[in-house]
Amino acid sequence: MSTAYEQTGRARQKQRTRKALVAAARDLVALGGRPPTVAEAAEAASVSRTTAYRYFPTQKSLLLAAHPEVDATSMLPGEVSDDPEERMAAAVRGFMAMVVDTEPQQRTMLRLSLEPDTESRQLPLRQGRAIGWFTEALAPLAEQLGDDGVRRLAIAVRAVSGIESLVWLTDIAGLTREQAVEQMVWSAVALVRRAAQEV
């Protein structure tokens, strides 16, 4: 739905309606099972189907809006050392706490991101926010590794963490969520240690 529609006429009422649809979709996703349709979100939000489709013409547009918003610019705690391994461990733990807290929505977004269409490329999982968080954690290694080296390492850490890794480690490897997170932290720290030794 275009922003212009929401800002015309009774803009505040339209914003409330949109928020109600998004909240209903988030609640339905959190219950598990298959992703909700626009019609199901409309019913849960007590909004007519016709109105709901003005805001979200497709299920995917609704689910994209319902993905948890992360305003965080950092995954590092306030007090963190300059040790790259400690910083990376903290960043991965912060990142995975957010993923685990919103796991049903993350799994839904993962399923959608695997679809081979243009709209799927706009999904949050494809935007690489974690790369920025991990790059920040690697700041003490910037002089040693250079910008390209830091980015390469941040990508390597992202490859062993996130919802994709959580799904594999829990559903296939049979680890608990806590064990899976610790496995990701171990892998990330091992990558940081190896990269620092190579230079």
Secondary structure of residue 31 in the 3-state scheme: coil
Q: Which class does domain 3-66 fall in?
A: mainly alpha
Q: What is the mean pLDDT of residues 41-65?
A: 88
Percentage of the chain beyond pLDDT 90 is 48
Identify the residue whose tokens are 């590092």.
76
Contacts (Cβ under 8 Å, ≥6 apart) of 153: 134, 138, 141, 145, 191, 192, 195
Domain boundaries, the chain: 3-66, 84-198
**CA end-to-end span of the chain, whole Å?**
50
**How do residues 73-90 score in pLDDT, each as one tens digit?**
788 888 889 999 999 999
- The answer to whether 89 touches 188, Cβ cutoff 8 Å, is yes
Start-end of H helices in 81-176: 84-101, 103-113, 129-137, 142-159, 163-167
Least confident of 3-7, 67-71, 96-100, 139-143: 3-7
Pairwise pLDDT comparison (50 vs 109), residue with the higher score: 50
